[in-house]
Every structure is written in C-alpha cells, then in structure tokens.
Amino acid sequence: VTQEVRIRHKDGSWRWVENTISNLLQEPGIRSVVMNLRDITERKHAEAERARLNQRLRQAEKMEAVGRLAGGIAHDFNNILGGILGYAEMLVEGAPERSPLRRYAQNVLTAANRASALVEQILSYSRSQRGKRVPVELDRIVAETLELVRGSLAAGIELETRLPPAPLFVVGDPTQLHQIMMNLCTNAIHAMGERGRLRVTLESADIDVDRVFQHTTLNAGRYARLIVED
C-alpha cells in the first residue's frame, strides 16, 4: 500500500512524504510490517507548478480566442459607427445655435465618439495591447457621462451632482473611465426603477495610512473619490 501524506518537519516546515507499507508477516526471517518513507516534497512542488502553468496556458488560449472574436465584431461595429458619426456631424452643423436640437445632436455625436473609442479599446485588447494611460480630467469625464445619462432618465428620477470646483486629474484610460462611470449610473438607474434620486459625487480624498484590500494595496496619498448613489 502506498500513500502520500503531508507532515510537519522538525524545523517547522511542511513536507510531502510517500509512505509505502509492505506486509511481510508471512516471510521467514522478517515476519513484520515494513514501512518505507520517501521525501517527495520537490516532486509535489514541481507537479503543482506544472498544473499552474497548464492552467495559465489554457486561460491564455481562451483569451486569445475571445480576442479574435472581439476583434471581428469590433471591425463590423466600426463600419456602422462611421455612418452614425457622419450623420451626427451634419446634424450638429445644420442645427441652430443654442437650440435643443443642436444639444441633442451634439449628445449623439459625443456618444458615437465614445463608442468609437471603445471599439479602438476592443481592437487593442484583441491585439493583446494595454489601453493608453494618460493624465485625465476626471470631472470632465463625469460631466460628459452625466449629460448622456440625463437624457435617458425616467421622469420620476432626479439627478443630483456634486463636482469639485477645480479640475481633478487622474492617470488612466479615458475610455475605460467613461465606461466605468456609465456602468455605475446604469446599474443605479435600474435599481431604482421609475422613481428615485441618482446622486453622483466626485471629490478629492486624502488617505493617511496604507489600506490593504484583497486584490491590491492602496498606498497613502491623495486620490479621487467617485460616489454613485441611488
């Protein structure tokens, strides 16, 4: 009988041991149960590392397949966006200054440009490239997103905003920040239904000590804090 067991070494570390038990009670001159122990810690670590690498390889293959699919869809969607952008630009140019029609057309153009930037992000992802991180005026991103959100609010939902008096800059991908903001607002709107209040607050926050989370560590310093409440 062969078993693999995990035991604690005298130095406090844990070791894997292969335990082989042989029943030699019927053997003349032996008549006992013989137990052989072998340290297989290195082999177990090698097997675990091989399994981890295989898992990473399978995950990479899946992500590559998803990237190819996303790239194909993004190319087709980009063709559709070309028409939307062209007609939106003509609407903006033809609408009277300071008219509701001009503002609506500008909102369509802004949304189409955001969609175009999102397509570029998907294409970058399909090419296994990271999004471009640059200094971003976060309050401007929030204001642009809220202008789009305002047009889709139900009559019973009130929008309340609190933005900083001075520009608030962060380093990040503008398209991803816009998408995060839009997703937060959309989730809040869906949670409220037909009536409620959507409150969006953007402010600076000073963190005095490091904060450890499950996925990262937030070092002490000055940050931007975005709050979306329903």
DSSP string, 97-155: TT-HHHHHHHHHHHHHHHHHHHHHHHHHHHTT-PPPPEEEEHHHHHHHHHHHHHTT--T
Confidence of residue 67 (pLDDT cuts 50, 70, 90): low
Which amino acid does the sequence have at 121? Q
Q: What is the mean pLDDT of residues 119-139?
A: 70
Distances (CA, A) of 95 to 80, 83, 86, 113, 134: 23, 18, 14, 19, 34
Please name which of 139, 146, 142 lies closest in space to residue 189, comparing C-alpha atoms.
Answer: 146
Non-local CB neighbours of 221 within 8 Å, separated by 6+ positions = 206, 207
| Residue 19 near residue 3, CB atoms below 8 Å | yes
Output phi, psi for 83, to 5 deg: -65, -40
Output the pTM of the full model: 0.47
Please name which of 130, 128, 115 lies closest in space to residue 77, comparing C-alpha atoms.
Answer: 115
Please name which of 133, 129, 134, 132 lies closest in space to residue 71, comparing C-alpha atoms.
Answer: 129
Number of H helices, E strands in the chain: 4, 10
Give the residue, 74 or 188, on which the prediction is more confident. 188
Output phi, psi for 189, to 5 deg: -65, -45
Distance CA 122, CA 171 (A): 20
CB neighbour class for 8 (10 Å; exposed up to 12, middle 13-18, buried from 19): exposed
Distance CA 146, CA 171 (A): 21
Confidence of residue 201 (pLDDT cuts 50, 70, 90): very high
Q: What is the mean pLDDT of residues 175-187?
A: 84
pLDDT at site 19? 87
Confidence of residue 127 (pLDDT cuts 50, 70, 90): low
pLDDT at site 214? 63
Confidence of residue 215 (pLDDT cuts 50, 70, 90): low
Question: Strand, coil or helix: what is 218?
Answer: strand
pLDDT at site 180? 85
Most confident of 63-72, 90-99, 142-151: 90-99
Least confident of 61-70, 87-96, 173-182, 207-216: 61-70
Please name which of 15, 17, 21 lies closest in space to residue 34, comparing C-alpha atoms.
Answer: 21
pLDDT at site 5? 86
